[in-house]
A and B are shown apart, each in its own frame.
Chain A
Amino acid sequence: MTAWLTGSGFVIKDSQLALGMVRHAVGDDSAWSAPDFDDSEWPKLWFHHTPGSESIQWLRGSLDLSTLEPFPRPLGLELGALATCEIFWDGQLLTPSGVVGTNAAEEVPGRLLQIHYLNEELATSESFAAGRHTVALRCSTHNRGFSPSVGFWYLRVGEYGALVRETNSRPWPATVTLSAMVVVGLFYLLLFALDRRDRSDLVLGAFALTGAALLVAESWRSLVPYTYDWHVVRLLVVTALSGLLNLLLALFFTLRFPRLGHRRAFLAAVVILIALPAVLAEGWDTKAGLMFLGVGLLTLGRGLVATIHYSDTGLTSAEMSTRVLNTGQASAALASAGVACLLAIALVRPFHFLDQTLFVALNVLLMCLLASHALQVRAARREQQAAEVKSVRLEIELLKRHIQPHFLMNTLTAMSEWLEEEPAVAARMIQALAAELRLLGEISGERLIPMRDELRLCRSHLELMSYRQDRRYALNTRGIVEDSTIPPAVFHTLVENAITHDQGTGALELALVARRENGRLRYRFDAPANGAPAEALGEGTGLRYVRARLQESYEDDFAFRYGRVGELWRTEIDLPGSP
């Protein structure tokens, strides 16, 4: 547990020996380095419990190398300390790192980690190998930074090469995953930069890059040697990055699975679960570990709720098919599985969680999130394809309406009659038909057209029909903004329907009124209700076309109502205000 709390996670092997109990004195005397100095009056303490001090302090201990089997050759000594230390091996000063001083200005901070080669002469002598040896440390700790309570002490001897290898290879598993995280991070940032629609892409990119940064910060101790005064700075960075990483993970879950609600409460809880251990927990690894534990559990909970919720109630949009629903579920389940892996790994190997297994866990999590994303991309692509197919179908439906025999052949028959009886009218009728077909060809492929074109289409149709029926048809308009847009042939379809169902004689007056109300654009279309009874006018092909076109352009943000109002058949279309 000590290793977990102090972050000095290393393992003493059989061929190594660590400094345990030491004698401790505050003050300074060059005689205290001698192996035969009597330190029995000095208080004893565990080496790794050595406190910091305002002045120079000495630590003396002994190592019995005769217990080492086999005897390590060449012999090395490793010291890790949050202090500047001079090491006296049997009274001989080893090459110092930094300068021990009586105050912060005088002290030159030494390396956090030092590995010394104990020279050949000492290492090979018989007495050296067998005997008990004295280690005396002269230390100053004036540059520990803004967290003087932090302690970090260990000293061990062992085979020199093994000590160096161990230090060098410690960050290796974690750094292997570095490039994967950087690539994934950059990929998602690029994805967001190009598209800017899905903010969860941005968050996922930031998450991966923060994970990479945490990895670098965590491995820095072994990657780039530094003096002990930077240690607290590095630990602060590690803690801050851990907090950020957890926050981004939670944010990703709220953005990617948005339909759950309670987003603010969830994020507030996450911030508390990050802040509390950051402030209250003792020990740097404990702070970060508790963050991952708390936020991980909460996020897993949200992911599982998303999985269940998506299967229970489905997605709210009526457009989403069962397949998309299942994708939402699978996607949430995968993301949850990723978090579950992170938690499992943290709980199984807590001692090396932050500096080693965290990065394995992060990679598993990222893989799950990528798979989850792939599922959603596939679903979105299918949805888009379905929408495109639907658009084409609507276009064909509109065009077909005008080459279908009932429309075309009746028009041609009426034209024959005018041709034989009144050729001048026949000529005008041909012009009207040509105008309508021309306009139709121009607009049928569009998703939205200006009202100007829609009204032209309505009027050319009314003119053509007036020649067919030899009646006067009129469309009276009020309040229409000609530049506002509408899906093609929406009102044209209503006009057609009105003519089809009209059983009256004499002039037929239709009215289209537009007005703005509460930021919405409202259209009201009135036709005389003298035809078939209302119940017979169910949502036929024409009205289904109108609804499908509105859905295509406004999704669920529109209203489409019709019904009898007194002597009128009224259709109301309510659209978003801004075009």
Chain B
Amino acid sequence: MRVIVVEDEAVVARRLLRLLRKILGRELVSLAHHATLAAAAKHLNRHAIDVLFLDLNLSGRDGFELLADSVSRPFQTVVVSARHTEALRAFEYGVLDFVPKPYDEERLRAAVDRVRAVDAPVRERDQRTKYLAVRKRGEIVSIAISDVVFVKGADDFSELHCRDGSVHLHQKTLSALTRLLPPSFDRIHRSYIVDMEAVRSFRSEEGSRTFVRLASGEDLPVGRSRAKALRDRLL
């Protein structure tokens, strides 16, 4: 696991790094520490990472702007903050976990477990995320998940297709996003996650090719391995 820690308090950062080393052991591929997100940016541009442990003073608008910046990126974000009252809002932004200060080893281990589970098959999912932050010409725009009809995987990023026909690029992979999307979204294909509430019909064609038709009239392919499960869910 490749990890970066953003924390401006020296002793608090020392604690986080020490505990992460202890919990991850040999699993740890890289571990970097910076005092601010801006300072970490250079590192992030050069090195791919899996998770960012982000200390944020979520007391003002600035804190949430930084949070939106972080969650729009390809990696997962775990917020470590003194303001536990802001946890719900942080989840809405799409953080993977929210660790309130002060924390012990056990709580941190739970967060690390959530990171590990990202790539494993989804068993239970978070219903808390309400927005997906995407970068557009240097700006960060929040897209309400309720506006998203389906997500299409494209190499290392994803396309968010919205009800109004607009398409937004998200830096996270389809797998990483699956973790953040609510249960109404189903992975119907290697490259597609769709909001099942937007599906109008389901049809099988010659050669076992299966499609779902959306309210917009658009057809999306259904993967062979997922066709049966999907038929069961719909019928």
Contacts and interface: CB of A to CB of B under 8 A. Distances in A.
Interface of A: 404-406, 408-410, 412-418, 420-421, 467-471, 503
A415 B9 CA distance: 12
A409 B11 contact: no
B120 interface: no
B9 A416 contact: no
Given A416-B102, A416-B104, A405 B82 contact: yes
Given A409-B83, A468-B10, A471-B10, 4 more contacts: A413-B82, A416-B15, A417-B11, A420-B15
B11 A414 contact: yes
Which are the 8 A-B pairs with shortest beta-carbon distances?
A409-B82, A417-B15, A405-B82, A414-B11, A413-B102, A409-B101, A412-B102, A413-B101
A148 to B, nearest CB: 90
A406 B82 contact: yes
B84 A469 contact: no
A157 B122 CA distance: 125
Nearest to A420: B15
A470 B15 CA distance: 12
A404, A413, A418, A471 interface centre (most CB from chain B within 10 Å): A413
B82 A468 contact: no
A421 B11 CA distance: 11
Interface in B5-24: 9-12, 14-15, 18
Interface of B: 9-12, 14-15, 18, 35, 57, 59, 82-85, 100-104
A242 B231 CA distance: 110
Contacts of B103: 413, 416
Given A406-B82, A410-B12, A415 B57 contact: no
A326 to B, nearest CB: 37
A372 B103 CA distance: 64
Contacts of A468: 9-12
22 contacts: A405-B82, A405-B83, A405-B101, A406-B82, A408-B82, A410-B9, A410-B12, A410-B101, A413-B11, A414-B11, A416-B15, A417-B11, A417-B12, A417-B15, A467-B11, A468-B9, A468-B11, A469-B9, A470-B10, A470-B14, A471-B10, A503-B35
Nearest to B15: A417
Contact of A409 (B14, B18, B35, B100): B100
Given A406-B59, A409-B100, A414 B83 contact: no
B9 A414 contact: yes
Contacts of B85: 405
A408 B82 CA distance: 8
Nearest to B35: A503
Contacts of B14: 417, 470
Contacts of A503: 35
A342 to B, nearest CB: 62
Contacts of A404: 59
Given A406-B57, A414-B15, A416-B15, A469 B82 contact: no
B11, B59, B83 interface centre (most CB from chain A within 10 Å): B11
A412 B59 CA distance: 18
A412 B11 contact: no
A409 B9 contact: no
Given A405-B84, A406-B82, A413 B12 contact: yes
A408 B57 CA distance: 12
Contact of A418 (B9, B11, B82, B100): B11
A527 to B, nearest CB: 17
Contacts of A415: 102
Contacts of A405: 82-85, 101
B82 A410 contact: yes
A56 to B, nearest CB: 104
A99 to B, nearest CB: 101
A415 B18 CA distance: 15
B93 to A, nearest CB: 19
Contacts of A416: 15, 102-104
Contacts of A469: 9-11
Contacts of A417: 11-12, 14-15, 18
Nearest to B55: A410
Nearest to A415: B102
Contacts of A409: 82-83, 100-102
Contacts of A410: 9, 12, 82, 101
